[in-house]
Chains A and B, each alone.
Chain A
Amino acid sequence: MALELRTGRGLYRLASAAAPETADEAVVLTLSLERADGIERVVFRCRVERELLDRDACANPESLIARVAPWVEREFEATREAALKLIRSERRLYEVVFDAAHRGPF
């Protein structure tokens, strides 16, 4: 399932890039942000603390992605740049964290 994001740089698709990781304290999604024409793609992680989620959301990663998508669309430039810079320079995935202090779309 790929969700379309309308951004200042054109149409991008947000999709799951790997199986979600579920732990006692959080759910971690690995997402890919790919431009519609394929010339750009970056993978990043999205960690959501369990306290922000209800039981149904934990069991359904697709609903989590659908919930995160509008936030990514709003914060697109910062997320894209952070993800690209971190993967280029430190070879690790950028992780957006949603918790009680920073609830984001939750």
Chain B
Amino acid sequence: MALQLIRPDINIDFVGKRFFFVALSTAINLAAILLLIFVGLNYGVDFAGGSVVQVKFDQPTSAARIRQALAPLDLGEVTVQEFGATNLNQYLARFEKVRNIGSLGKRLEGALDQSYGPSNKAQVLRVETVGAKVGRDLRVDGFLAVAFATVFMGIYIALQFRGVSWSFGAGAVIALIHDVLVVTGALVLSRLEFDLTTLAAVLTVIGYSVHDTIIVSDRIREDAAKRRREPLESIMNRAINETLSRTILTSGTALTVLLSLLLLGGPILRPAAFTLFIGIITGTYSSIYIAGPVVLFWEGGRGARSAPARAA
């Protein structure tokens, strides 16, 4: 007997449960938006701009004490925060604009040693500097890259599936916005650093998610051409069930690889692997529970359109 992970005659009522899952997704997206506004992403220096200095002390201290110790250097506005677990005694000092940046690490160590003395030695572990304008430009360009990718994917899908309904494009765009919000919300909660590699992972999530959406939409288009008198809701449910095996196997194999990267890949790959892991899960979910319901809401649950479906 052949191995069958999913029965060929499976018939889960995905579309019937769409109201619950749309409500759930709306709540998650609102939470993600609130997290982005009130907590914010942990921008790496690429996006934040300015200078970042990570300092380790032998003994506990406070951000205010560190600012006081650095004041004589007259380095401009400085933000100091504890970095990591309390017992690590590590702090992050951010300088928006450093006047005379040469040997910043040595100068900071000298000022801290002078202020704290030998009882609490400071060691500068990291100094990174990105021009403020470069950081700002990268933030804007990164957002535009995600926005343009989403919009043009939507336009392409709308054109390709116009024979069944123009709303496929809207469904795809809303699904992609949902995926980006879920992923960025997860990044806010995890406090993983959002840098250029993570941005590349977000763009990959968009590509993966729309690929899954196209697979389901294409099956809907095929079934709509064969069953013109059947309601779109029924056609959509059948199409999702027919592609379920392929969807789960494709996502499952990708997730297996990503889980390995997440657990064993080390700190360099972790933010990107985490982004892709969450993104593939939500991309698969949105292809079923977001893109389809958007089309149904648009079409008002009518029967399949009478215009013949065009091949891609």
Contact = CB atoms under 8 A, between A and B. Distances in A.
Nearest to A17: B123
B26 to A, nearest CB: 32
Interface of A: 17-18, 32, 34, 37-43, 81-82, 84-91, 93
14 contacts: A39-B104, A39-B127, A39-B129, A40-B128, A42-B127, A43-B124, A84-B128, A85-B266, A86-B267, A89-B192, A89-B267, A89-B270, A91-B88, A93-B125
Main SS class of interface, A: mixed
Contacts of B123: 17-18, 43
Interface in B249-283: 266-268, 270-271
Interface string B145-169: 0000000000000000000000000
Nearest to B88: A91
A41 B83 CA distance: 17
On chain B, which size bracket covers the interface? 20 to 34
Main SS class of interface, B: mixed
B103 interface: yes
A3 B299 CA distance: 70
Contact of A38 (B85, B102, B125): B102
Given A39-B101, A43-B123, A91 B90 contact: yes
Contact of A89 (B85, B105, B127, B193): B193
A42 B102 contact: no
A88 B193 contact: yes
Nearest to A89: B267
Contact of B105 (A32, A84, A90): A32
Contacts of B83: 91
Given A87-B54, A89-B193, A41 B271 contact: no
Contacts of B129: 39-40
A32 B85 CA distance: 23
Nearest to A81: B268
A42 B125 contact: yes
A91 B54 CA distance: 9
A81 B272 CA distance: 14
Nearest to B129: A39
A7 to B, nearest CB: 16
B84 interface: yes
Given A18-B123, A42-B125, A85-B268, 14 more contacts: A34-B127, A37-B102, A38-B102, A38-B106, A38-B127, A39-B101, A40-B127, A41-B124, A81-B268, A82-B266, A84-B128, A88-B267, A89-B267, A93-B125
Interface string B189-210: 0001100000000000000000
